[in-house]
Amino acid sequence: MTHQDKAAVVLVSGGLDSATVLAIAKSEGYNCYALSFDYGQRHRFELEAASRVCDAIGVVQHVTTPLDLRAFGGSALTADIDVPKDRPDDEMETGIPITYVPARTTIFLSVALGWAEVLGAFDLFIGVNAVDYSGYPDCRPEFIAQFETLANLATQAGVEGTGRFRIHTPLIDLTKADIIRRGLSLGVDYGFTLSCYDPNEHGQPCRRCDSCQLRSKGFAEAGMPDPHTDHAPP
Amino acid sequence: MTHQDKAAVVLVSGGLDSATVLAIAKSEGYNCYALSFDYGQRHRFELEAASRVCDAIGVVQHVTTPLDLRAFGGSALTADIDVPKDRPDDEMETGIPITYVPARTTIFLSVALGWAEVLGAFDLFIGVNAVDYSGYPDCRPEFIAQFETLANLATQAGVEGTGRFRIHTPLIDLTKADIIRRGLSLGVDYGFTLSCYDPNEHGQPCRRCDSCQLRSKGFAEAGMPDPHTDHAPP
| Average pLDDT over chain B, rounded to an integer | 85
Is the pLDDT confidence value at B4 over 60?
no
CB contact under 8 A, B153 and A160: no
Identify the CA nearest to B11 among candidates B99, B123, B101, B100.
Answer: B123
**Domain containing A54 — which CATH number?**
3.40.50.620
- What is residue B231's predicted lDDT score, i.e. its pLDDT? 46
Q: Which regions of chain A are under pLDDT 50?
A: 1-3, 231-234
CB contact under 8 A, B72 and A115: yes
Residue A119 lies in a domain: yes
CB nearest to A146's CB, from B101, B140, B149: B149
C-alpha distances in Å from residue B111, one per residue of A6, A98, A162, B66, B106 = 29, 19, 28, 11, 9
Range of the domain at A181: 4-229
pTM to 2 decimal places? 0.87
Whether residue A96 lies within 8 A of chain B, CB to CB, comes out as: yes
Structurally, chain A folds into a number of domains equal to 1
Residue A234 lies in a domain: no
How far is B181 from B156, CA to CA, in rounded Å? 39
What secondary structure, in 3-state letters, does A67-124 show?
A: ECHHHCCCCCCCCCCCCCECCCHHHHCCCCCCCCCCCHHHHHHHHHHHHHHHHCCCEE
- What is residue A233's predicted lDDT score, i.e. its pLDDT? 40
C-alpha distances in Å from residue B216, one per residue of A21, B12, B131, B203, B211 = 50, 20, 16, 17, 9
Can you list the alpha helix ranges (DSSP code H) found in chain B? 16-27, 45-57, 89-92, 104-119, 141-154, 156-160, 176-185, 210-222, 227-231
CB A12 within 8 A of CB A53: yes
Whether residue B51 lies within 8 A of chain A, CB to CB, comes out as: no
In this prediction the ipTM stands at 0.84
How far is A125 from A6, CA to CA, in rounded Å? 12
- What is residue A113's predicted lDDT score, i.e. its pLDDT? 94
**Mean pLDDT calculated for residue range B122-133:** 86
B27: Cα within 13 Å, side-chain hemisphere: 14
Percent of chain B with pLDDT over 90: 51
Strands B61-66 and B7-11: unpaired
Residue B207 banded pLDDT, cuts 50, 70, 90: confident
